[in-house]
Amino acid sequence: MDVVKPSPAQGRVPAALAVLTAGLPAFHRAVPNTPGRLGSLLESFLPWLGLAVLPLLLYGLVRRTPAVLVALLLPVAVWTRLFGDLLLPADAAGPRDLVVVQHNVADDNPDPTGTARALAGSGADLIALEELVPDALPAYERLLAVRYPHHVVRGTVGLWSRYPLSGARTVDIKPADLAEPWSRGLRTVAATPHGEVAVYVAHLPSVRIVPRGMTSAQRDESAVRLGRAVAAEPLERMILLGDLNGTVDDRGLDPLTSRLEVPRRGFAFSFPAGLPLVRIDQVMARSAIVDRIDALPATGSDHLPVRARITLE
């Protein structure tokens, strides 16, 4: 019986696709953001590019094309370099750790009472909430009060804390072209057992994926305003919690990610709750390490809560 050997040209296209799969995440900053903010759109789903390896691997095995299998080592290496650390276990908890929860509770949440109960049982020291509406706010205030006696709300964002809060004020992150009332940022100081920590809670404008790409101009402008506030913060230790409507790889959040530490472990995809594809609910810090971030079970929101452990330096 004759053995049919693969043609040398047989795997050229799949091998080229493997190289492209490696190149996009490795050089994602080279993808232009105009038109349609395509760079930011790519960066929003960057970890998922690794899935392209699977059909190429299957092709290489079935067709017995060594060139494809060898070429696949490149995207695997790039993905591991970019995201492999997120899969590692976090360091052991220490005495200088804080546990924080970030959750966009959704202004149309049909069960704010159930959501508040779930958050109260999260074991967090600090809980940041967005899309707080007047009808639902009393439920959160009532059910979180026992474990979190200190809280502050500004506009539609709020913070609940086990520790005393002081110096609360609104942070103006409103895009210039918005005329309607809009208050989605606050800053306060938590008196933790390890010293004072400035805590920011923010909800940046939404982005939309449309046929021509992604609309994020307002989100990007709001991120710039928040970045300026963070840069001007006089306390060295600070934590930012919020629905930032962007991933930590998205260049639109550079005004924040260039100044703050992002989580070292965990993907914690938080949106949409029914099929989480991205983490747009973020925990960042300065003079502190965000050791790990994880998604919590679904509530009545279209976002999943995320919980992070922060080690104060």
Give the model confidence (pLDDT) of 194-249 as tens digits. Answer: 999 999 999 999 998 888 788 899 999 999 999 999 999 999 999 999 999 999 99
pLDDT digit string (tens) for 22-73? 999 999 999 998 888 999 999 999 999 999 899 988 888 888 888 888 889 9
**Among 101, 126, 292, 295, residue whose Cα is nearest residue 198:** 126
For tokens 């202004």, name the residue.
107
CATH superfamily of 97-312: Endonuclease/exonuclease/phosphatase (3.60.10.10)
pLDDT exceeds cutoff 80 at 158 = yes
Residues contacting residue 232 through CB under 8 Å, at least 6 positions apart? none
CA 216 to centroid of chain Cα atoms: 16
The predicted pLDDT at position 92 comes to 73
**Amino acid letter for position 213:** G
Higher pLDDT, 158 or 313: 158
Three-class DSSP category at 258: coil
Residues contacting residue 233 through CB under 8 Å, at least 6 positions apart? 187, 198, 200, 286
Domains of the chain: which residue ranges?
A: 12-87, 97-312
**Among 122, 44, 93, 308, residue whose Cα is nearest residue 199:** 308
The predicted pLDDT at position 5 comes to 53
pTM of the model: 0.92
